[in-house]
Amino acid sequence: MMIMKISSADIPKMALAAIGTAIVFLVILNLPQSAAPPTKRAERISWDEALKLKQEYLDHKPLMVDYDDTSGKPTRGPLQGFRMDAKAIDEVINYNQNSPSKSGKADQIIFYFGIDGYSEAAGDKIPIYNIVVAGIENGKIMKNPTSSDIDHSSVMDRADPCPPNCPK
C-alpha cells in the first residue's frame, strides 16, 4: 500500500484542480435546453431576413391565440406579433414622462410579454397575450415612482395581437 504525503503547499493546487473539474462537470451536465441569444445591438436587416426569422418562429412551437377570423368564425392560430400605435412608441422614446433626468428621451426600449386573462375557447385555457413597452434611460426602466398613477406614465400596453390585427 502506497501512502501519499501532501504538504500544505499542495493543498491550494489540489483545491484549484478540484474546483476546475467541478466547474467543467457542472457546465457539461447543466447545459440549458434553450439558450438566450448573445446580447447585441439592434441592426438593420432586410424584409426577406425578417420573414425568414418569423417563419423560423412559426415553425417552432409558436404561442397560440384565439380570435375570430374575417367571417367571424372562432379560430386558433399562431401569434405572429403585436400592432401598436406609433404615437405610443414615440412617447416612450421621445416624450417619456418618467425620465429621471427630465430629458424625456429613452436610450433604449424594452418589450415585456404579459398575459391579460384567458380564453376558454375549444375547451382549452389559452392565455391572452399582451406586450408592455417601457423606456430605458441610463440602464434603468423609466417608470413613474407612483406606480398606480397612469395619467403620468409612459409605460404602454394593450397592443393589438396579430392575428387578427395583422397588416396586409
Query: What pLDDT is recorded for position 101?
Result: 86
Amino acid letter for position 1: M
Q: How far apart are CA 112 and CA 17, in angstroms?
A: 42
- Residue 36 is classified by DSSP as P
For the chain, first and last CA: distance in Å? 81
Q: Structure pTM?
A: 0.65
Task: Please confirm whether the linkage preceding 38 is cis (ω < 30° from 0).
Answer: no
| CB environment 93-106: b (16+ within 10 A), e (fewer) | beebbbbeeeebeb
Query: What pLDDT is recorded for position 37?
Result: 54
- Residue 75 is classified by DSSP as E
Q: What does pLDDT average to in each consecutive run of 10 residues of the chain (168 residues)?
A: 47 45 42 52 84 92 89 91 91 89 90 86 79 90 77 83 87
